[in-house]
Structure 1
């Protein structure tokens, strides 16, 4: 559905394809989508926003708020397409519900976009083969990595057998083939994780890492006073791959060593986030009172302000974790796995955060965060400067705007 006629005269025309309803502060990828789109809006382009909506990523109230927030009108128009599920996976193939887009394809192509910004892979797949100008694709985590790692964790947790891992390897191969086919013709591919450059290069796809906009900086007075006993915060999308990885390291490796360090009840690990606790985690921490599950936390500033460190032992070598950026933006010291620096190379042990490669190293760094508050505060301040220099919305959005301008002028970055 489009409100008003699609205009093709006047300024540069940008098509933006996005899955879900962007929001300035609630969610994960949809947050950075909102800031990229809002940044283009401020540049004065004529924008047509194609939204791929399905039951698990949209609701009418959120869509109405988005229309009002972006001031839908002559220079910013919205087309919505709906499907029960756009990306469909079966035993032998991955498929996209292109039939859901058939009613609007002619309308989109009549807009004659000069550049199309596809926010994540499904958006690029949606308009594959369309006449939509030069394509800039932004990518989050790569499906062929997440698919396989989830299967390996399912095997570890007793939810899968080796044949399921074999099937995941097959599906990962199918994803790689799709990524190669869809992305190689695109003029520019931007990745949110530095490590993705290497994986895409193996497919013959050139890409460039760029930090993404992440709005989380609070006024300093919002941050609370540190708790008396050592207190650490574990948060994120609790059913996601990063949390799945970190839960295993925390429960199986870090927790027993924290008990040896501070004794039973001598410390606390607060768990917050969306999605609920995985069943195996709920069972594993039932007799461990040092873990406290908070559910979704409305006031992150107050909780994070009284914790001594963010505990982010994400050892899976995938992605550039937004929970770490949230902590950096709040001047909270981060204790993470060394693999997180594969996605974000500005995470440097002892400088912008603390990095560890095993349970003993985690506990040593958590102790430093508690016992040496001046050192921890200096590390947190340098982490904050990394956030301000690279991930603050005005900075990261300006980089994407430069890429769009270069693409419009034929000087693709």
Structure 2
């Protein structure tokens, strides 16, 4: 069976970008299942991944992985004539047009032609922006949704308001924000209903779409196997690992929470009683400087061998407090058999998280800090959590298991029987 992956990310397991890593994992799992995988990435010339690759280099990397690649350079952000009259501006503020929400609708014709050149039996559409770009595709589509764009918009806007408070501008932007927050889910549901199958990688997102009347299944993200877990080295001080690129809404939220955890950790472990290693690409924004100047914090930036950081950490700390998508860093921690402390918000997207069995959960900076202290001071507990994490990975998230569900759905909508799919 021939499957095309359509996304605004390009498969690259070492990019440091969650979307690129996830897409690479999905592509590899489908190929292992016997699919002939082609890739149609909608690329942006101005976008550089955390590892420093521009769009041309990203395409080169995907090709080097053995995939046929038909890239489309997005036309989404090209400046177009806009009616700037008062009436038109008020209408847009109150009810934005579809292409204002998803400029990728302008890429539909180019994407249709690129997908046809790949001649797949079915198309795996990853993410809402790729869904908008896929509206011209006439082949069976399996839309796998990721973070809803309106939630990211909400997070970015609120962060900007906190950083640069201006009551007049906030009042003006609030009207447009509320209109977008209403319009995004409505348009997304319309686009999803046109697809032959719909899935979500977060259980809470699948439930939300079902409440909106869109049949949607919960699918697990396939995670590559790094090999049998190893015991962390005897670090001079307990090492806490925080990972994620520094432009991500989730990562920035988690680092804000971790900054609030630091006083609690210092009181209990002492100012020299731990080391927090922050790993992730891009330059840190100004709001992170107070955190990164803390004596216990070490900023590593982008690293080539992230597996080494997982293996060396005493505790993987994922304090992201917003219910946004699925934290692949938690799933990767499962695969390494990491001792994980995470915010309970992440259990909404990852229902496999179980407090005391494969992770420790907390709902506030104080609670999360207390769980880190438990993980550091109770070796038996840490060992049990590590075993539970790896067992959770082997039960749910291996490429063979998680990839099978994705492959079966694609084969079903293409009308291909399993034996034929592996040819």
Q: TM-score range by the shorter chain?
A: 0.7 to 0.9
CA shift, 1:98, in A, is 4.7
Structure with the bigger percentage of helix: 2
Q: 1:347 to 1:116 in 2, by over 3 A?
A: same
Q: 1:155 to 1:346 in 2, by over 3 A?
A: same
Equivalent residue of 1:355, what SS? strand
Q: Distance in 1 between matches of 2:112 and 2:255?
A: 44
Equivalent residue of 1:343, what SS? coil
CA shift, 1:167, in A, is 3.1
Tell whether 2:320 aligns with 1:318. no
Tell whether 2:175 aligns with 1:169. no
Q: Distance in 2 between matches of 1:170 and 1:409?
A: 40
Of the three residues 66, 72, 77, the one matched with 1:70 is 66
Q: Distance in 2 between matches of 1:276 and 1:110?
A: 38
Q: 1:160 to 1:403 in 2, by over 3 A?
A: farther
Of the three residues 10, 33, 56, the one matched with 1:21 is 10
2:74 match: 83
Equivalent residue of 1:316, what SS? coil
Equivalent residue of 2:325, what SS? coil
- TM-score, structure 2 length as denominator? 0.83
CA shift, 1:47, in A, is 5.3
Asked if structure 2 preserves the Cα contact closer than 8 Å seen for 1:38 and 1:70, the reply is no
Asked if structure 2 preserves the Cα contact closer than 8 Å seen for 1:272 and 1:294, the reply is yes
Q: 1:87 to 1:268 in 2, by over 3 A?
A: farther
Tell whether 2:126 aligns with 1:119. yes
Q: Which moved more, 1:297-306 or 1:198-207?
A: 297-306
Structure 2 residue runs of 5 or longer lacking an equivalent are 49-53, 81-91, 418-423
- TM-score, structure 1 length as denominator? 0.85
User: What is the RMSD computed on CA atoms of the aligned residues?
Assistant: 2.9
CA shift, 1:351, in A, is 0.7
Asked if structure 2 preserves the Cα contact closer than 8 Å seen for 1:226 and 1:308, the reply is no
1:181 match: 190
Q: Distance in 1 between matches of 2:306 and 2:119?
A: 43
| Greater RCO (Cα-Cα under 8 Å, separation 6 or more) | 2
Count residues in correspondence: 391
Task: Deviation per CA, 1:374-403: give whole Å up to 9, x if none.
Answer: 211111110111112222222211221111
Q: 1:366 to 1:100 in 2, by over 3 A?
A: closer
Tell whether 2:338 aligns with 1:348. no
Structure 1 residue runs of 5 or longer lacking an equivalent are 1-11, 73-77
Tell whether 2:187 aligns with 1:196. no
Task: Deviation per CA, 1:36-94: give whole Å up to 9, x if none.
Answer: 3344445555655322122216533442342242254xxxxx42211254699996432
